[in-house]
Amino acid sequence: MSDELPETPATVDRARSFGAVAEAYDRGRPAYPAEAVAWLTGGEAKVVLELGAGTGKLTRQLVDAGHAVFATDPDEAMLEVLRERVPEVSARTATAEDIPANDRSVDVVVVAQAFHWFDHEVALPEIARVLKPGGHVALVWNSRDERIPWVRKMGDLLGRQDLDTSSAQQLVQSDLFGFMEETTFKHWQEVNRETVIDLARSRSSFAMMDDAGQHEHLDEVRAFYADYGRGMDGMQIPYVTRCYRAVVIDRDEQTTSDDGDPSQEGPVVSDGTDTDMLLIDFR
């Protein structure tokens, strides 16, 4: 599926289909290299808003890195797993097109494996709205390294949606963000006979199949593992983690009045240090 398909009822259904396979998604999908997590956030502890957080695969790593993290996802079933996995995080059912956060309230907005599902014309202004001046948005995808022949065969079975990160170009085309940086990291995921089935079941394409199609597909995955896996020793899937980030352009900076005195235009927004306003409106 191309990242650039317009939002239609069919694509919305597919984007929201992961809840039916939330447990398999959590067991089967790979985590992210620690170096990638540090690059996405910029290092030191920050207030991070994660959009499309899913079951918390990246959320757990963000918290362990010392960040104050708030998580959203449009699928409550996915968030139920996240709340079990990362109970210390505030999580709320919400979309990227309607973010439950105050203006200029977060340092970083992070999106893992989900940016291609967004309605970018609506989501990018929302992301820009909630970022503090100097804050940035960061995108990440884990993509299988299909230079290896057996990994290409796996791609034939599982699909290649995660290999297409072209939606990141929306940041380049937007006038809300500055120069887009990008980098990659390599890592391996160890899977066995059970978790490779979970990996197959975690795909949106699988969730949209009927029962007969799902059974046939899983039989094909089991046959693949029988050919290329190593029994109890499992197999190692190579990944390239593709990362992108861009700093928000602050359009509400101080302006100079006619007499040369600076004046602040626009609303005064809490930075979260006063107790009268919530940093993020998670209720």
Q: How many CB atoms lie within 10 A of CB 9?
A: 7
Q: Is the pLDDT of residue 88 over 90?
A: yes
The residue that leads in pLDDT, 253 or 278, is: 253
pTM of the model: 0.81
Q: Are 144 and 32 in contact (CB under 8 A)?
A: no
- pLDDT tier at 200 (50, 70, 90 boundaries)? confident
Rounded Cα gap, residues 177 and 259, in angstroms: 31
The residue that leads in pLDDT, 2 or 180, is: 180
Mean pLDDT of 188-195: 90
Q: Are 50 and 69 in contact (CB under 8 A)?
A: yes
Mean pLDDT of 156-184: 93
**What are the structural domain ranges in the chain?**
9-144+161-187+239-249
DSSP of 29-75: S----HHHHHHHHTSS--EEEEES-TTSHHHHHHHHTT-EEEEEES-
Domain 9-144+161-187+239-249 -> CATH class: alpha beta
What's the maximum distance between 2 C-alpha atoms anywhere in the chain? 78
Structure token digits, residue 172: 């380049």
User: Residues 157-167: pLDDT tens digits?
Assistant: 888 877 889 99
Rounded Cα gap, residues 148 and 273, in angstroms: 51
